[in-house]
A = this chain, B = another copy of it.
Amino acid sequence: MQQNSLDNFSSIKDLINRSLKQNKAILVVANCSVSYSGRAEAFLDFGDRIIIIKPDKTLLVHQPSGNNAVIYMKPQTQHLFIDDSDELILKSTNIILHECVEIVIKEILNISSCIMNDSEKVQLWGTEKDMSDYIYDNPILIAKDFNPVSREEQTKYGFIDVFGHDKNNNLIVIECKRTKAGPSAPQQLRRYIERLAKSKGISVKKIKGIVAASDITKNAKHMTKELGYKFKKIDPPSYMKRKKEKQNKLGKFL
């Protein structure tokens, strides 16, 4: 335990429990085993992990590889460190959610804590909503005579991305996908259209269904055709194009 300036678990325990009270972020790298019980049950045998307790009492356990925490607890969990001679044990309990985690720490490789101030929120562009807005504002992407009426609307028939009609007043329902459309796209379309037709007392054949996406899987395309709908390839909005240009430059630069 060379890297550990405090090789006495008891003093570490006190340090961490004090940091918990102060709502500090706590970062620990340790050799530990982790068990979870709650919505499911999980166990992870001993290995080196990054353990984080955030000021909002979120618990994260990360392995040295991979995007996601392998074990975690939601915000507002209670945490308690207990020293047990040659082990340090973290017991995390969320009584409301009926969940608990136990981490048995054999060795601490690194430990730190600090106050964090952050009031910002991440801003995101290029979502599905941006895409439906793009179609709404550029209806010609769908058809020359497409006249959009609403977008992103929660109707009693379900959630419809873009809704409108053509010059002959045929209803048009559009399901957008920002990435490659799968079987769920025509399926969702089908549900809206069936319900809509029923409530209007008209045939489903009177309502046009369109899957709008940058791409579609083979199966989904087949389904779309089979159900009498159409797939419309929609290139991403302009900021996406700008993004791609940037990336091309970047690729050239590197």
A interface list, Cβ under 8 A from B: 3, 25, 27, 29, 34, 37-50, 52, 54-56, 58, 60, 62-67, 69-72, 74-75, 93, 95, 98, 100, 109-110, 112, 114-127, 179, 183-184, 187, 191, 239, 243-244, 246-247, 250-251, 254
- In the bound complex, residues from chain B placing their C-beta under 8 Å from that of A123 are 42-44
B67–A62 touching, CB < 8 Å: no
Chain A interface helix/strand/loop/mixed: mixed
B27–A50 touching, CB < 8 Å: yes
What is the CA–CA distance of A148 and B251 in the complex, to the nearest angstrom?
A: 54
What is the CA–CA distance of A118 and B10 in the complex, to the nearest angstrom?
A: 26
List 13 additional contacts besides A37-B247, A40-B125; criterion CB under 8 Å: A29-B116, A41-B124, A42-B125, A44-B121, A47-B119, A48-B116, A50-B52, A55-B65, A58-B67, A70-B122, A93-B254, A110-B114, A187-B187
